[in-house]
Chain A
Amino acid sequence: MAESTAQAVAPEALTSGARPSRVSTSLRRSLRWLGVVPFGVYVALGLLAPFVAIAIAAFRNSSTGAFTLSNFNTALHGTYLLGLKTSLLLSIATAIVPGIFGLLVAYAIFTAKRGNVLRQVVITASGVFANFGGVPLAILFIATLSTTGIVTGWIKDLSGVDIWNHGFTLYSAYPGVFIVYMYFQIPLMVLVILPALEGLRPAWREAAENMGAGTWQYWRYVGGPVLLPSFLGCLLLLFGSAFSAYATAEALTGGTVALTPIQIGALLNGNVVAGQENLGYALGVIMVVIISIVMIIYVILQRRAARWLR
């Protein structure tokens, strides 16, 4: 600990050199922010500006352009409220379960050497599957698990049980959409947690074992604390990804499951409802509000976890 504090002092001495301390610390402090200016500008132009344009439209009546709250009112009632609730729950479920499984898969390969073929195959396959979705994915799962799917057939041949007669269905949120979401959520998790796993030095494992720690103790006192912040961060990412996923669930359920992105799609992208784009924008704004709330919970969780694990 002593070394790090001593070294923490050092860089100030190094970089300030012969600069007189009269150069106000406030100036230096504001100059610090220069480093994130490029990022800030890019985000402002590429994310903030479009979002503001959308948000403004959300407050306008679609046909007259007058200021109105009616879009938000509609968005928070009836089928749209149901959509928000279902989306929220489904996203939480399809963040946690694939999160855990993805962590296991990533852990299974991260100890392999960097040039290891298995590791490279898993990484690239994860990249591909993480972005695979929509109608093609739905077609694949229908070919696998529908009433005429091959796995349904295998199960029937092996055990005589027709899963569809026992309540299994692809066409609702659970288990159908849930299972299909795993197909891109797990690979996403593998890819984003892998760099974090690199932080687990094998030397620590050895050191822990030499001191007599078992697997559980290693994870409780060493592995877990190191990994937890990143793990939670990756779960947040998975949640966001599931929350805005649209094409796959739509292809699978044909609108019979109310999910917010699907509803936005029907409003902005459809062939039936015309002239209600601003309602779609309002829903988009609400989604951003929800994720902001989730972010706050996430930050609280991180703080709690850190304190608990110390």
Chain B
Amino acid sequence: MSALVAAAQKEGQLNVITLPSNWANYGAIMKDFTAKYGIKITDANPEGSSGQEITAVQQLKGQSRAPDVVDVGPSFAVEGANDHLWAPYQVATWNNIPADAKDANGDWYADYGGYVAIGYDPAKVKVAPTSFASLTSPAYKNMIGLNNSPTTAGAAFAAVYAAALANGGSFGNIEPGIKYFAHLKSIGNFVPTAIGGPTTVQNGTTPILIWWDYLLASEVSPVVKGFKIVIPSDASYASYYDQAISATAPDPAAARLWEEYLYSTTGQNLWLQGFARPIELSTLVANGTVNKTAYAALPPAPSGALTFPSSAQAAAAETVVTQNWPTQVGG
């Protein structure tokens, strides 16, 4: 480990990409890493998407400003592995990561995630929503929004998946979720704007926002007084993002040190403080090394084991959403 630190410090810099500072507490994480190891971090394109991360890794190969590490959605991690973009690496705490949340080779590994949640502004929303079913009430006319289009934003896509689960669908069948939103739109409850973030909550366009619970907590709660977050009672769907090291990373030692840091207790707890659930949460709780205040601040997790769609199911669902969202929900 000390050899890794020395090599990383010799490289002196780390290129990360698409990490907004208020997303899962990345701002604090990057600052702490630099303070601890003296390695300068350059965060390119903080508002970018997973697709842009892949493009950057592919097109900037060989440049000193190419990304070293990525934090991408699951389907992109898999695609990157298929295109041989990642360098396999197993962090020290590798065994604490569940088997279905990492690539067997070590190409990618889940980092943090959260549940699809309904956030609402109680000043404008008099009757508290509790589930997807409750959102169909006429009391919520012109109130409900997603953060973006499910054809392009992971959180929105997850929301449709969750709605599918709540309406008789399954990981292999996302169509009920699309139908649900189509119904919501036809009765005038759904506002399809895709500005994302707290803006539409603040200006009253979408006092109810369906998004990741940790983003609702870290981005909307600070600016909307009394903002409440609830995980829908009729469907709980969680998704985790994945870390990977670029096979053509210009700073390979720093990249590996970064991963060690993220999967150390410090790193995992910092994610927890960003209201996200780090992948090694259960280990931290068992060991008693979890940050108790941050853990208590999380919305209560639904009972039952976490299950994820397989890559094949997810890919199929993505195609269905892309094909049907405009025609069924647009109309």
Contacts and interface: CB of A to CB of B under 8 A. Distances in A.
A256 B330 contact: yes
A82 B326 contact: yes
A256 B50 CA distance: 21
Nearest to B331: A256
For the side of the interface on B, what is the size category?
A: 35 or more
B78 A255 contact: no
Interface in B297-331: 315, 318-319, 321-327, 329-330
B199 A271 contact: no
Contacts of B146: 254
A207 B315 CA distance: 70
A79 B193 contact: no
A142 B151 CA distance: 22
A272 B203 contact: no
Contact of B324 (A79, A138, A274): A79
B193 A254 contact: yes
A255 B75 contact: no
Contact of A271 (B49, B200, B329): B49
Given A256-B329, A272-B73, A171 B192 contact: yes
A40 interface: no
Interface stretch (B51-59, B115-123, B250-258, B270-278): B51-59
B79 interface: yes
B239 to A, nearest CB: 11
Contact of A142 (B79, B193, B326): B193
Question: Interface of chain A, helix or strand or loop or mixed?
Answer: helix
A152 B60 CA distance: 47
A206 to B, nearest CB: 53
Contact of A147 (B142, B157, B319, B329): B142
Contact of A139 (B52, B157, B195, B327): B195
A256 B49 contact: no
A272 B78 contact: no
Contacts of B127: none
Given A172-B330, A266-B322, A270-B49, A253 B193 contact: yes
A199 interface: no
B325 A273 contact: no
B205 A148 contact: yes
Contacts of B55: 268, 277
B204 interface: yes
Given A79-B324, A146-B205, A256-B149, A273 B193 contact: no
Nearest to B191: A171
A257 B73 contact: no
A195 to B, nearest CB: 37
Interface string B176-196: 000000000100000111111
Contacts of A265: 152
A262 B154 CA distance: 16
Contacts of B327: 79, 82, 258
B103 to A, nearest CB: 15
The residue among B148, B154, B193 with the most chain A CB atoms within 10 A of its own CB is B193
Interface string B197-214: 001100111000000000
Contacts of A274: 50-51, 54, 73, 75-76, 78-79, 315
Contacts of B54: 274
Nearest to B203: A143
A278 to B, nearest CB: 12
B75 A142 contact: no
B67 interface: no
B151 A257 contact: no
A265 B73 CA distance: 16
Given A142-B205, A255-B325, A275 B82 contact: yes
Nearest to A147: B142
A303 to B, nearest CB: 38
A151 to B, nearest CB: 14
Given A255-B152, A266-B322, A273 B192 contact: no
A269 B49 contact: yes
B82 A63 contact: yes
B203 A255 contact: no
Interface of B: 49-52, 54-55, 73, 75-76, 78-79, 82-83, 142, 146, 148-154, 156-157, 185, 191-196, 199-200, 203-205, 315, 318-319, 321-327, 329-330
22 contacts: A139-B195, A139-B199, A142-B193, A142-B195, A142-B203, A146-B193, A148-B205, A252-B194, A253-B193, A254-B156, A256-B329, A269-B152, A270-B151, A270-B153, A271-B49, A271-B50, A272-B152, A272-B318, A273-B151, A274-B315, A275-B75, A277-B51
Interface of A: 63, 78-79, 82-83, 135, 138-139, 142-143, 146-148, 164, 170-172, 250-258, 262-263, 265-275, 277
Given A254-B193, A267-B51, 12 more contacts: A79-B322, A79-B323, A138-B195, A253-B192, A257-B326, A269-B51, A270-B153, A271-B76, A271-B153, A272-B75, A272-B157, A275-B79
